[in-house]
Chain A
Amino acid sequence: MSRFLSAIMTGLVLALAAASAPATASPGPEERMEDPQLEARARTLYDQLRCVVCQSQSIDDSNAPLAADLRAVVRERLLAGDSNAEVKAYLQERYGDYVLMLPPVQGNTLALWLLPLIVLAGGGTAIVLFVRSQKRRAASDADAADDDARAARLSDDEGLS
């Protein structure tokens, strides 16, 4: 039985791995730039730019014709001597922040960037406070061991008496 289960699990894991692996690298060999340094920069940029038709993919992943056009623009800008930031700004001017895979940190994205940290800090603080209060309670219980008084206090709290 457990062997059967583990076989199923292995199958599932393999299926997931296969599904998440990129099917093919999109930029074909004909898109390779002559200068290996520029090619490396182009690759980095492809990965950081969003395909505007298939928005969960970068233009590196996408086979869409528009993604190929955008890659061509990246190469053209690189050949024109643009820095990586300038290439991104060029496309940002046309497609807005959406074209960047990583949203820039700015006024309207502060919540997006900071909220996870705030929630983590808040949750952490809550846990620390809770654990401390439990410890204090345990300690005071051991000291006093005055169960009657505690019961009375509790029933006060509950509004029973």
Chain B
Amino acid sequence: MTRVFLFLPLVLFAVMALYFGLGLREDPSEIPSQLIDRELPEFDLPPIQGFEAGLSNADLEGQVSLLNVFGSWCPPCAIEHPMLMQISRSGTVPVYGVDWKDPPGAGTAWLERNGNPYQRIGNDAEGRLAIDLGITGAPETFIIDRAGRVRYRHVGVITEEIWEGTLRPLVEHLQAEEGG
């Protein structure tokens, strides 16, 4: 009878191996957003150099929108850029930008070089909105519903798969929601 207990270490090992093995499949650097299903924080950002309009909560009101945090200093943002251009051209959802911690003029020059997918861009030179949004790195993208609530956050580059598989279906679902 007591001999059964001899297998206890083995069983413990198996349980822990399974648990930690599953843990390895998760990305520990991904911090869950605190904003999901909450309203976007209040903000009113000035425009970036050479633009007339900045970006505030009011600009996003009454529509499903995509809010993208970028910076000209951020290499993955350059990789993501063509996808944002494509999304913007498709007209599925208005794309808004937050230029995060760029030196004056850098964001503008970058957009002139690569094209501008954004309807409006806010200049977050101080990085304060980024902290209110719980940003951990650029690029990050939020999908915001008609009521101004954050419904989804994507960390990192929007790839074709993520757009087609996750973001676009979500946007279309939110657009179909009555009154949102």
A→B interface (CB under 8 Å)? 52-53, 55, 65-66, 69-70, 73, 91, 93-96, 98
B90 within 8 A of A: no
Give the total of B residues in contact with A, Cβ under 8 Å: 17
B130 partner residues in chain A, CB cutoff 8 A? 66, 69
**21 pairs, CB–CB < 8 Å, chain A vs chain B:** A52-B31, A65-B127, A66-B130, A66-B135, A69-B101, A69-B126, A69-B127, A69-B128, A69-B131, A70-B131, A73-B128, A91-B131, A93-B34, A94-B34, A94-B131, A94-B132, A94-B133, A94-B134, A95-B31, A96-B31, A96-B32
B137 within 8 A of A: yes
B114 within 8 A of A: no
Q: How far is the CA of A91 from the CA of B135 in the complex (A)?
A: 12
Most chain A beta-carbon contacts within 10 A, residue among B28, B31, B32, B128: B31
Q: Is the CB of B127 within 8 A of A96?
A: no
- The verdict on A66 contacting B127 (CB below 8 Å), with A53-B136, A55-B29 known, is yes
Closest 10 CB pairs of A and B: A52-B136, A69-B127, A94-B134, A98-B31, A96-B34, A95-B134, A53-B136, A53-B137, A73-B131, A94-B34
Q: How far is the CA of A94 from the CA of B28 in the complex (A)?
A: 18
Q: Is the CB of B137 within 8 A of A95?
A: no
| Chain B, range 132-180, C-beta contacts under 8 Å to A | 132-137
Q: Mark B109-137, 1 if CB is under 8 A from A, else 0.
A: 00000000000000000111011111111
Interface of B is mostly: loop
A94 partner residues in chain B, CB cutoff 8 A? 34, 131-134
Closest to A73 in B: B131
Q: How far is the CA of A96 from the CA of B137 in the complex (A)?
A: 16
B126 partner residues in chain A, CB cutoff 8 A? 69
Q: How far is the CA of A55 from the CA of B28 in the complex (A)?
A: 9
Closest to B126 in A: A69
Q: How far is the CA of A91 from the CA of B31 in the complex (A)?
A: 13
CB of A105, distance to nearest CB on chain B (Å) = 20
Closest to B32 in A: A96
CB of A106, distance to nearest CB on chain B (Å) = 15
A65 partner residues in chain B, CB cutoff 8 A? 101, 127
